[in-house]
């Protein structure tokens, strides 16, 4: 099952020392990360995901992120069918992160 996670909720989760932080997987293209990026992510471009599943931890919450939340939703579904759980989609992607959490983040 894929669940959406609001950017503000991801910020709280990553800041909460009493919880195990999620693993954030950014499926955008390298040129997109050059424009703006979240910290502490695993970067696996969406088209490389099938060949790089062994780089992702099993048994940890995964939050998948892209520009607007569309590609990440597809990637999250793929990860769930590959046996990863729980898997979250960052609602609105880095665009929503910039709007709701980090207004200083460049937008594209």
Q: Which residues are catalytic?
A: 66
- End-to-end, the C-alpha distance of the chain in Å comes to 30
The span from the CA of 87 to the CA of 89, in Å, is 7
HSE, CB side, 13 Å, CA atoms: give it for residue 49: 22
Listed residue (52, 56, 65) closest to 26, CA to CA: 65
Q: Which structure tokens are listed for 89?
A: 């989609």
């Amino acid at each position: 099952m894929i669940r959406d996670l609001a950017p503000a909720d991801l910020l709280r989760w990553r800041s909460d020392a009493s919880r195990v932080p999620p693993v954030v997987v950014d499926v955008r293209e390298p040129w997109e990360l050059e424009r703006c990026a979240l910290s502490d992510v695993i970067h696996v471009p969406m088209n490389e995901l099938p060949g790089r599943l062994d780089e992702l931890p099993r048994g940890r919450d995964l939050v998948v992120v892209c520009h607007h939340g569309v590609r990440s939703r597809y990637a999250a579904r793929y990860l769930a069918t590959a046996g990863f759980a729980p898997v979250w989609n960052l609602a609105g992607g880095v665009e929503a992160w910039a709007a709701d959490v980090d207004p200083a983040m460049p937008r594209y």
